[in-house]
Amino acid sequence: MQHMDGTIFVIMGVTGDLATRKLIPALHELLKDGHLQKCAIIGVANDQTATIDSILEKSKSFIPEPNSDVLQKIRDVFVYQPFDFNDQSGYQKLKVTLENLESQFGFSGQRIFYLSVMPDYFAPITQNLALAGIIKKGDNSRIAYEKPFGHNLASAKSINKAIHSVFDESQIYRVDHFLGKELVDNIALVRFTNLFLQPLWNHQYIDNIQIFLNEEIDINHRGAFYDRYGALRDVVQNHMLQLLALIAMEPPKALDGQHIRDAKSAVLQCVKVEDVIKGQYAGYRTESGVNPNSTTETFAALRLSIENDRWTGVPFYLKTGKCLRAKNTSIHITFKSAQCMVSTPCPPPQNHLIINIDPAHGFALEINAKVSGYSNQIAPVPMTFCHSKLCPNSPEAYETLLFDIMKGDQSAFVRFDEIEHSWAIIDAAHAQHPETPPTIYEKGSQGPDELKIWAEKYNFVWRD
C-alpha cells in the first residue's frame, strides 16, 4: 500500500459546499485506508463563527461510514483560520500557523493548497500567498484550483498568467473531478490496450460519437453562480470536452501525465463548432438568485467536428442539461453499417460501443447476432462489463485526486493549454446565434424540440 507522510493541506473555502461534501470526506477515507498517515489540515474561510467542530460535524453526514478514531485524528490535526481572502494580514497569520505545525509535527514542508473557491479568487489568493512568503516558485508546495477555471478564454489566460508568475506548471493541479472517476480513467486504457479497437477508431468505421451529461436535478440553490455560467461554461468546457479529448486524441507516446496531456491538447486545438442548440427549463427565471430576464442556458447541444485525418467527416454531438428526463452521463460510439449480405434487416443495425459513467458504470458493446430459429434475422445483443460488480469498492473521485496531488501525479489534471483550447471552443459556441434566446423546454423532457430537427437535418439518431 502506498502512503504519503507529512503533508499540510490548506483548504481555502473550507466552510463551503465542496469542502463539506467532498474534500473533508475524501481526507477521512485516505486516512482510514492508510494512504495518508501524517498530515495536518488548515481550513480558511470568512465565517468568524464557524469552529472546527461545526465544520467536521457538517461534513460527517457526507462520510459513508464515519470512523470515530479517524474523525478524532482529523480533529487533532485541524486548525481553522478565518480571514478574508483579500486581507493580507490573514496570510501572515497563515504563514505562522504553517511553520508552527511543521515544527510541532516534524514535517519537511510538503504543502498542498486547495482553492475550493470561485475562480475570481484564484489569482488574488495565489499572489497573496506568494507576497506573504508562504510559497515560492519551484518549492515543495502544490496548488489545486477547482473548476471552472475562469469564465472565458480571456479570463482563463489572465489567471494562467498570474499563477505562472508564482508557480511552475509542475506545481499546478487544475481539477476536473470527472478525470478522477474510474470509468473516465479507463477510457485511454481501453482504447490503447485493446488492439482490435485501434484500426476501427477513425472516420472509416465510425459514423458519429455522442457524449451526454443529462441531469435530472435543477440548479440546486446555486442560482447566483449558475446564472453567470450556464451549461456551456459549467460542464461542457470542462467535463464534456475532457471526455471528447480522451475519446478523440491520437495515441500518446506513453500513457502518462505529460503525454496524455500533449495528446488531449493537440486534439482540442482541432475542434470546430458546427452548430449549437441552447435551451432553458421552464421556471428557471423564477429560481432564487436568477435574473428574471435571464438568457442563461440550462441546456446545450453542440455539433462539433475535428479537423484532422482521423476524424474528417465524423460529427461529435455533445448534449447536457438540467431538469432532463433521466440522469445519464455516457459516451456512445456508433459504427458505420456493415454491408447488406443475407441478413434481415438490411443493412444490419449499426454496432455501438457505450461507455456508461453515471449512474451506470461500465462498458457495453452492441454486436449483431442471429435471432434464434430458422430465419436469417439478426438483432443487436449487448456484451456488457459492469464496473461496480467487478470493483465494488472503487474510491471516490476526490479521494483519487487528492492522493494524486500528494504523489505529484498530474495525469488526471488539466494543463494550461488544454484549458485555453477548451475555452476557445466555448467562446465560439457562445458566438453562434448570439441574439437568439435559449428555447424554453419542459422539466422532465429530453430538452428543446430542435433536437428532433437536428436528427432529421443531420440524419442520425439520438442515443439517449
Is 13 a residue that touches ligand NAP (CB under 6 A)? Answer: yes
Is 18 a residue that touches ligand NAP (CB under 6 A)? Answer: yes
Site for ligand NAP in 77-106 (CB under 6 A): 84-86
With beta carbons less than 8 A apart as the criterion, state whether 111 and 6 touch. Answer: no
* Contact map string, positions 136 to 175, toward ligand NAP, x by CB under 6 A: ----------xxx---------------------------
- At residue 157's C-alpha, the angle toward residues 153 and 159, to 5°, is 120
Nearer to ligand NAP, 13 or 448 (CB): 13
Active site residue: 28, 177, 239, 332, which one?
A: 239
Is 118 a residue that touches ligand NAP (CB under 6 A)? Answer: yes
Give dist(CA 47, CA 108) in Å, integer.
Answer: 30
Q: Assess whether 332 carries a catalytic annotation.
A: no
Is 322 a residue that touches ligand NAP (CB under 6 A)? Answer: no
Is 117 a residue that touches ligand NAP (CB under 6 A)? Answer: yes
Of 427, 432, 434, the residue nearest 155 (C-alpha): 427
**DSSP assignment string, 266-307:** HHHTTEEEEEEEEEEETTGGGSTTS-TT----SEEEEEEEE-
Give dist(CA 59, CA 18) in Å, integer.
Answer: 10
- Of the chain, the end-to-end C-alpha distance in Å amounts to 40
Is 54 a residue that touches ligand NAP (CB under 6 A)? Answer: no
Sequence letter at residue 437: P
> What is the closest distance, in whole angstroms, from the C-beta atom of residue 426 to ligand NAP in the complex?
15
Is 15 a residue that touches ligand NAP (CB under 6 A)? Answer: yes
Stretch near ligand NAP under the rule CB under 6 A, chosen from 42-50, 156-164, 392-400, 410-418: 42-50
Nearer to ligand NAP, 119 or 257 (CB): 119
Nearer to ligand NAP, 18 or 56 (CB): 18
Cβ atoms within 10 A of the Cβ of 258, count? 14
**Partners of residue 379 on adjacent β-strands:** 369
> What is the closest distance, in whole angstroms, from the C-beta atom of residue 416 to ligand NAP in the complex?
17
Nearer to ligand NAP, 119 or 315 (CB): 119
> What is the closest distance, in whole angstroms, from the C-beta atom of residue 148 to ligand NAP in the complex?
6
Q: What is the DSSP letter of 87?
A: -
- Residue 369 CB partners (closer than 8 Å, separation 6+): 378, 379, 380, 381
Q: How many helices (H) and strands (E) does the chain have?
A: 15, 15
Is 363 a residue that touches ligand NAP (CB under 6 A)? Answer: no
**Partners of residue 212 on adjacent β-strands:** 319, 330
> What is the closest distance, in whole angstroms, from the C-beta atom of residue 284 to ligand NAP in the complex?
19
Nearer to ligand NAP, 85 or 212 (CB): 85
Is residue 202 classed as helix, strand or coil in its secondary structure? coil
**DSSP assignment string, 436-449:** SPPEEE-TTBSS-T
> What is the closest distance, in whole angstroms, from the C-beta atom of residue 397 to ligand NAP in the complex?
10
Active site residues: 239
Q: Would you tell me which residues interact with ligand NAP (CB under 6 A)?
A: 13-19, 45-47, 84-86, 116-119, 146-148
